[in-house]
């Protein structure tokens, strides 16, 4: 399932064969609490060259010669055994993009968050084959308020109430990143026009809809449900908001989910 705000699934993979990710329908969970939805948006900007800034996040984007993610337990250390192959390009399209958690542009090695299970795993990559850029765009998902807020630096550029995970299938907590943007096909219009996959997975489902339970942010055909806790872990927002996010929030941008 997908989270800023969607639920998705990808087929289980072995180290020998990469899995194929697939968005899956978010089954309805009946809830009674409803919050009146509100939305606001403003234009945003990103840049690839930013001076030292506490609000900046470094992002690593794989060059075309990278076929799949190889990460190490320390610089020049031992390769980390991953549960499944993480290919480049991403299975939803676009280059493999990772959030840097330690290090800076110009370093030979940087630590990144790995888009694998369990959530929050990190490893080191050699920057020779990666482009390191910066963004000041970030998102926060407040599960208690059931609200998504997106910032460019200190400025709020989007804010909306959202559907979050039901009590039995909660949206996982932590800081993740946007790993892919998927324009949903007509057959999956219930997910809205876009799904923004995160580097997070459901911590309840082992498999979902035949695949790995990727968390994402996506749209919805039921805007009247915005503000409820009824998803399988993904975050659903109004379609006009997810379209704005798809256009203005870069790959690798951090998404912090808290309660």
Q: What is the DSSP string of 70-124?
A: --BSSTT-PBP--SS--BSS-TTSS--EEEEEE--TT-SEEEEE-SSSSTT-EEE
Tell me what pLDDT residue 6 has: 33
Enumerate residue ranges in the chain where pLDDT < 50: 1-7, 9-20, 22, 24-25, 27-38, 46-47, 50
Residue 242 parent element (H or E): helix 239-248
Q: Which pLDDT does position 88 carry in this prediction?
A: 98
Q: Which helix (H) or strand (E) holds 125?
A: strand 122-126
How many other C-beta atoms lie within 10 A of the C-beta of residue 185?
9
Strand, helix or coil for residue 150: strand
**Best CA proximity match to 204, nearest among 168, 164, 241, 156:** 168
Which DSSP letter does residue 227 get? T
Tokens of 252: 């690798």
The CB density around residue 29, as the number of other CB atoms within 10 Å, is 16
Residue 235: per-residue pLDDT: 98
pLDDT at 9 (0 to 100): 39
Q: Is 199 left (phi over 0), alpha (psi -120 to 50) or beta?
A: alpha
**All domains in the chain, ordered by first residue:** 3-43+137-258 (2.40.440.10), 57-135 (2.30.30)
pLDDT at 125: 98
Is it true that the peptide bond before 118 is cis, omega within 30 degrees of 0?
A: yes
Q: Which residue from 258, 175, 215, 232 is spatially nearest to 4, judged by alpha carbons?
A: 215
Contact indicator for 235, 164 with CB cutoff of 8 Å: yes
Contact assessment for residue 196 and residue 176, using Cβ atoms and an 8 Å cutoff: no
Opening angle at CA 242, ends 236 and 246, nearest 5: 135
pTM: 0.84
pLDDT at 15: 39
Q: How long a stretch of residues is the chain? A: 259
């Amino acid at each position: 399932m997908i989270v800023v705000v969607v639920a998705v699934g990808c087929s289980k993979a072995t180290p020998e064969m990469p899995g194929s990710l697939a968005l899956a329908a978010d089954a309805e969970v009946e809830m009674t609490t409803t919050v009146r939805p509100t939305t606001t948006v403003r234009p945003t900007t990103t840049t690839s060259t930013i001076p030292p800034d506490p609000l900046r996040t470094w992002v690593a984007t794989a060059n075309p010669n990278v076929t799949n993610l190889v990460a190490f337990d320390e610089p020049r250390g031992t390769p980390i055994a991953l549960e499944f192959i993480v290919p480049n390009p991403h299975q939803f399209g676009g280059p493999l993009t990772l959030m840097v958690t330690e290090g800076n542009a110009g370093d030979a090695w940087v630590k990144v968050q790995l888009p694998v299970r369990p959530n929050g795993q990190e490893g080191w990559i050699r920057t020779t084959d990666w482009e390191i850029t910066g963004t000041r765009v970030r998102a926060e998902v407040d599960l208690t308020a059931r609200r998504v807020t997106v910032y460019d630096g200190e400025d709020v550029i989007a804010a909306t109430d959202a559907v979050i995970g039901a009590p039995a299938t909660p949206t996982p907590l932590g800081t993740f990143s946007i790993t892919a943007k998927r324009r949903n096909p007509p057959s999956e219009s219930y997910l809205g026009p876009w799904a923004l996959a995160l580097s997070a997975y459901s911590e309840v489902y082992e498999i979902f809809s035949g695949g790995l339970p990727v968390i994402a942010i996506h749209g919805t055909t039921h805007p009247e449900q915005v503000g409820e806790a009824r998803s399988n872990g993904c975050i659903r927002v109004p379609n006009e908001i997810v379209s704005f996010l798809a256009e203005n929030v870069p790959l690798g941008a951090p998404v912090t989910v808290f309660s």
